[in-house]
């Protein structure tokens, strides 16, 4: 899928693909020797696919750049992504490798993850050795090893949105942040922001990171978001929606995809952040992780039926003559 009749992809999602099995609504974490049942369960593509699915549901064309296995899980995820309208033309099958499987166990408003398998044997640079496709926005999980495709994409006019994963080594090497020179936006969560900056508050971490990238957005879970546009000096702090968190798995990825969509609209920074908060809030209120990402067509009815989850007039910018009027993302590059 492409925006309009051009060859420009709306959102290029570059990174590791997983199969996610998501268990929500647990009373507590399972103890040794214990079995817990839940009727809040979902499965499907995870990892970088979360961005692509969420973006496609908002009307953007999307394409995944990831290694695929030759196993049943890859076949399952490929079928599900194709059904969502996500392009897999930039993926490559690796013989003898199986797609990693992640189990997400959710309780008390958060989740724990267990992943089985091995990392992808092919990275993005190898997958894009024939060239980096034109895209309005690219999203990427930064790795310690600098990616050669990042500056190429930026030079082509692609807005690169980056985030990070958990560092199991505990080193939190700040050298990885040098790659932000090719990025338009950086979207760490609070723990990642604190760990990579050595600061003691989310606000201070956002200030430090904003010196490295035009737009820094630190997500705070149920406490909301801090965003700083270093090109204008604008600082925005917005609350999360007041929803019951059923499953936070993939909510940060949905937030990032929604922010990418919002950046194609003629909205203020506050409105863009609020739109991303809306999509992420809807997602966490549903079981199944990022599979609960909303479609544009759902937003009108959701806002009408959940008026107590947000402040009065917060989403007036989406409404004209009492109806939500947002449509598919335009094909033009953002300013």
Place of tokens 């990042």: 150
The answer to whether position 332 is within a domain reads no
Share of the chain above pLDDT 90, in %: 82
pLDDT at 111: 85
Burial environment of residue 117 by CB neighbours within 10 A (0 to 12, 13 to 18, 19 or more):
middle
pLDDT at 326: 67
Confidence of residue 295 (pLDDT cuts 50, 70, 90): very high
What is the Cα–Cα distance from 211 to 191, expressed in whole angstroms?
18
pLDDT at 329: 53
Residue 17: closest CA among 124, 177, 157:
124
The answer to whether position 273 is within a domain reads yes
CATH code for the domain of 289: 3.40.1190.20
- What are residue 113's phi and psi, to 5 degrees? -120, 140
The answer to whether position 33 is within a domain reads no
pLDDT at 252: 93
What is the Cα–Cα distance from 258 to 261, expressed in whole angstroms?
5
What is the Cα–Cα distance from 267 to 289, expressed in whole angstroms?
27
In this prediction, residues 14-41 reach a mean pLDDT of: 93
Confidence of residue 321 (pLDDT cuts 50, 70, 90): low
For residue 23, the SS3 value is: strand
Place of tokens 């989403």: 315
Each residue's pLDDT tens digit, 73-83: 999 999 999 99
**Global pTM exceeds 0.75:** yes
**Domains of the chain: total:** 1
Rg (CA), the chain: 19
In this prediction, residues 50-64 reach a mean pLDDT of: 97
pLDDT at 6: 66
In this prediction, residues 23-27 reach a mean pLDDT of: 90
Which domain range does residue 77 map to?
9-27+39-324
In this prediction, residues 127-134 reach a mean pLDDT of: 96
Residue 61: closest CA among 122, 1, 116, 12:
1
In this prediction, residues 59-79 reach a mean pLDDT of: 97
Mean per-residue pLDDT over the chain, rounded:
92
Cβ contacts of 40 within 8 Å, gap of 6 or more? 23, 24, 25, 106, 246, 247, 287, 288
The answer to whether position 92 is within a domain reads yes
pLDDT at 279: 98
Judged by average pLDDT, the poorest of 68-72, 102-106, 212-216 is: 102-106
Place of tokens 């508050």: 201
What is the Cα–Cα distance from 23 to 41, expressed in whole angstroms?
5
The answer to whether position 330 is within a domain reads no
The answer to whether position 32 is within a domain reads no
Burial environment of residue 222 by CB neighbours within 10 A (0 to 12, 13 to 18, 19 or more):
middle
Angle, CA of 295, 296 and 302, to the nearest 5°: 80
pLDDT at 141: 92
Given a cut of 60, whether residue 221 has pLDDT beyond it is: yes
In this prediction, residues 266-277 reach a mean pLDDT of: 97
The answer to whether position 333 is within a domain reads no
What is the Cα–Cα distance from 325 to 57, expressed in whole angstroms?
16
pLDDT at 334: 43
Each residue's pLDDT tens digit, 171-181: 999 999 999 99
Each residue's pLDDT tens digit, 95-111: 999 999 999 998 887 88
What is the Cα–Cα distance from 252 to 283, expressed in whole angstroms?
10
The answer to whether position 329 is within a domain reads no
pLDDT at 108: 85
Which carries the bigger pLDDT value, residue 48 or residue 3?
48
Confidence of residue 5 (pLDDT cuts 50, 70, 90): very low
Given a cut of 50, whether residue 331 has pLDDT beyond it is: no
């Amino acid at each position: 899928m492409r925006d309009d009749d051009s060859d420009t992809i709306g959102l290029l999602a570059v990174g590791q693909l997983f199969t996610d099995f998501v268990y929500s609504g647990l009373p507590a974490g399972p103890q040794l020797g214990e079995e817990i049942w839940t009727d809040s369960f979902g499965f499907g593509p995870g990892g970088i696919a979360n961005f692509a699915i969420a973006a496609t549901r908002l009307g953007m064309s999307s394409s995944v750049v990831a290694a695929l296995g030759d196993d049943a899980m890859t076949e399952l995820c490929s079928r599900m992504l194709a059904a969502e309208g996500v392009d897999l033309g930039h993926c490559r099958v690796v013989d003898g490798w199986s797609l990693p499987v992640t189990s997400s166990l959710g309780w008390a408003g958060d989740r724990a993850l267990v992943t089985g398998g091995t990392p992808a044997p092919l990275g993005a640079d190898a997958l894009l050795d024939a060239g980096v496709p034109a895209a309005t926005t690219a999203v990427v999980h930064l790795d310690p090893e600098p990616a050669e495709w990042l500056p190429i994409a930026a030079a082509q006019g692609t807005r690169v949105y980056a985030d990070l994963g958990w560092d199991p080594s505990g080193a939190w090497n700040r050298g990885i942040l040098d790659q932000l020179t090719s990025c338009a936006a950086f979207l760490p969560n609070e723990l990642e922001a604190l760990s990579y900056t050595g600061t003691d508050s989310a606000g201070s971490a956002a200030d430090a990171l904003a010196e490295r990238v035009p737009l820094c957005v630190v997500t705070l879970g149920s406490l909301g978001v801090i965003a700083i546009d270093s090109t204008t000096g604008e600082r925005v702090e917005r609350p999360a929606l007041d929803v019951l968190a059923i499953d936070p798995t993939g909510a940060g990825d949905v937030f990032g995809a929604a922010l990418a969509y919002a950046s194609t609209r003629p909205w203020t920074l506050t409105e863009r952040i609020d739109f991303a908060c809306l999509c992420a809030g809807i997602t966490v209120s549903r079981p199944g992780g990022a599979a609960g990402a909303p479609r544009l067509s759902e937003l009108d009815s959701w806002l009408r039926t959940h008026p107590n989850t947000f402040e009065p007039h917060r989403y007036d910018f989406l409404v004209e003559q009492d109806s939500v009027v947002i449509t598919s993302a335009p094909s033009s590059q953002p300013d």
